[in-house]
Amino acid sequence: MKRIGLFGGTFNPIHFGHLRSAAEVRTRFMLDKVCFIPSALPPHKIPSGIADANDRLEMTQIAIKGYPEFFLSDVELNRQGPSYTIDTVKHFQSNQTEPVIFFLILGLDAFLEIDTWKSFKELFRVIPFIVMTRPGFKYGGIKDKFAVISDYLKTKISDGYIFSNEDSGYIHKIYQPVYILDVTPIDISSTNIRMLIEKKEPVSFLMPQEVELFIKNKGLYI
In the complex, which residues of this chain contact ligand ATP (CB under 6 A)? 9-12, 17-18, 21, 106-107, 109-110, 132, 134, 183, 186, 188-191
Q: Which is nearer to ligand ATP, 126 or 195 (CB)?
A: 195
Could you tell me the smallest distance in angstroms from the CB atom of residue 132 to ligand ATP? 5
Could you tell me the smallest distance in angstroms from the CB atom of residue 123 to ligand ATP? 14
Could you tell me the smallest distance in angstroms from the CB atom of residue 66 to ligand ATP? 21
Q: What is the largest CA-CA distance in the chain?
A: 52
Q: Which is nearer to ligand ATP, 96 or 182 (CB)?
A: 182
Q: How far apart are CA 90 and CA 140, in angstroms?
A: 33
Q: Which is nearer to ligand ATP, 160 or 187 (CB)?
A: 187
Beta bridge partners of 107: 132
Task: Of 136, 127, 132, 116, give the one whose Cα is nearest residue 187.
Answer: 136
The residue number with the shortest CB distance to ligand ATP is: 107
Residues 8/106, Cβ–Cβ less than 8 Å? yes
Q: Which is nearer to ligand ATP, 5 or 9 (CB)?
A: 9
Could you tell me the smallest distance in angstroms from the CB atom of residue 186 to ligand ATP? 5
Phi-psi region of 66 (alpha: psi -120 to 50; beta: other; left: phi over 0): left
Helix (H, G, I), strand (E, B) or coil at 172: coil
Beta bridge partners of 103: 5
Q: Which is nearer to ligand ATP, 132 or 157 (CB)?
A: 132
Could you tell me the smallest distance in angstroms from the CB atom of residue 96 to ligand ATP? 23
Amino acid at 143: K
Q: How far apart are CA 24 and CA 154, in angstroms?
A: 27
